[in-house]
Amino acid sequence: MTTNSVTEQLTEAGRAIEHDSFAVIDAEAGPHNYSAEQWPLVRRMIHANADFEFNGLTAFHPDAMRAGFQAVLKGNTPIVADVEMICVGLSKPRLQHFGLTTHHYISDADVIAQAKLENSTRAVQAMRKAHRLGKLDGAIVGIGNAPTALIELVRLIREEGVRPALVVAMPVGFVSAAESKDLMMTLNDVPWVAIKGRKGGSTLVVAAIHAMLSLAEAEQNKQAA
């Protein structure tokens, strides 16, 4: 039986700690309604911040896991993030294994200038720039910080026909965070993974994407066996 190597911890001690942590989560999480594909993603998010409320707060579009696998396994898929923290948090060796690239635009000078000119947010302008550059179609889009980025992405999907492969919708906060995710969860034609309510954050986006990479590697191993 083949096991993951790229998406595991690099040392035996590290792997043991992570696997023991997952076992504790499985034992303490209680009952859930997630599928065998969905639960590893939820579990890794619980592992990222020791919060069992994500067992229940995490919601999935019916096609989310399939769409995520396909986007990862086809290679050369862009990951577009609302903030740099997500790009920094993602494991470079794991991304390189699948030929994935990360992109964020929130600190670009033209994005800042346009946000000031229009009295909007940098996050809104960053999503618009990603669209202009052709980075959103077929991409995995991760939003963990800025609700306005998610609201703008929904607008782009509805009004301009943007079609990401998967949206990981997890902005955290008190102003429009819950509402932005509620908005995303009304969409049927673009797959999404979302956290209901105010909770979220870039760390959780990273955890969710890492879970998707792990499941994709397991699928690769199965196909190669």
Q: Where are the alpha helices (DSSP H) in the chain?
A: 12-28, 39-49, 54-57, 64-73, 84-89, 92-98, 109-118, 122-132, 147-160, 177-184, 202-224
Judged by DSSP in three states, 90 sits in: coil
Does the active-site annotation cover 61?
no
- Write down the catalytic residue from 19, 32, 47, 103: 47
To the nearest 10°, the Cα dihedral for 89, 151, 53, 71?
-50
Active site residues: 47
